[in-house]
């Protein structure tokens, strides 16, 4: 079952987080296995499945990155090892950063590390700034415009994942220096 439907909330990248938490607690009480200990095994199994669904829904919908990934997967837009294409200009920019990181492996320079960190942080901030209006408008969109928005979010998601890997590498350098 779709997590948004299960929680009776509209699909959104920026949902009401208080509503998610409230629904989680409401369903946690309703589907708590201890309340069904005297029921037949079929009922107990069904309640356990609903309790697990509630936990998984909450875990996914309450985390912005997991929620974004979930929505994109629900629409068939994220493929394992598939056609998750990142724009070439972005890849070129990231390739330059990766080359600079490789140079740091051989010739460490704290100032250069700081510069690369600033560059990646700035790129991440720009990505987030650019996608925010799309995320905000998404629940109101329909048809082609919604599909276009989903494609923009997919591109953002893939770029963000790439940048997070670079920032992970940067933090490894920072711990060594």
Q: Given 13, 28, 62, which residue is the final one in a domain? A: 62
Mark whether 33 and 98 lie in a shared domain: no
Q: How far does the chain reach from its first CA to its final CA, in angstroms?
A: 48
The residue segments making up the domain with residue 137 are 88-176
pLDDT tens, per residue, the chain with 177 residues:
899 999 999 999 999 999 999 999 999 999 999 999 999 999 999 999 999 999 999 999 999 999 999 999 999 998 776 567 889 999 999 999 999 999 988 888 889 999 999 999 999 999 999 999 999 999 999 999 999 999 999 999 999 999 999 999 988 887 765
Identify whether the C-beta of residue 51 lies closer than 8 Å to the C-beta of residue 33.
Answer: yes
Closest to 53 (Cα-Cα) out of 31, 35, 26 = 31
Identify whether the C-beta of residue 1 lies closer than 8 Å to the C-beta of residue 53.
Answer: yes
Identify whether the C-beta of residue 66 lies closer than 8 Å to the C-beta of residue 59.
Answer: yes
pTM (two decimals)? 0.89
Mark whether 96 and 56 lie in a shared domain: no
Does the residue 75 lie in any domain? no
Distance CA 75, CA 8 (A): 18
């Amino acid at each position: 079952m779709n997590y948004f439907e299960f929680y009776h909330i509209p699909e959104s990248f920026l949902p009401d987080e208080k509503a998610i938490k409230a629904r989680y607690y409401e369903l946690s009480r309703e589907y708590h296995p201890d309340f069904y200990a005297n029921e037949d095994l079929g009922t107990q199994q069904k309640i356990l499945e609903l309790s697990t669904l509630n936990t998984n829904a909450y875990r996914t919908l309450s985390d912005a990155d997991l929620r974004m990934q979930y929505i994109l997967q629900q629409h068939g837009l994220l493929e394992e090892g598939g056609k998750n294409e990142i724009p070439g200009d972005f890849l070129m920019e990231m390739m330059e950063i990766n080359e600079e990181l490789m140079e740091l492996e051989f010739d460490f320079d704290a100032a250069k590390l700081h510069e690369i960190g600033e560059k990646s942080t700035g790129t991440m901030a720009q990505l987030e700034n650019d996608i925010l209006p799309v995320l905000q408008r998404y629940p109101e969109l329909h048809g082609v415009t919604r599909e276009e928005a989903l494609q923009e979010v997919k591109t953002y998601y893939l770029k963000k994942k790439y940048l997070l890997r670079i920032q992970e590498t940067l933090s490894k350098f920072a711990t060594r220096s």
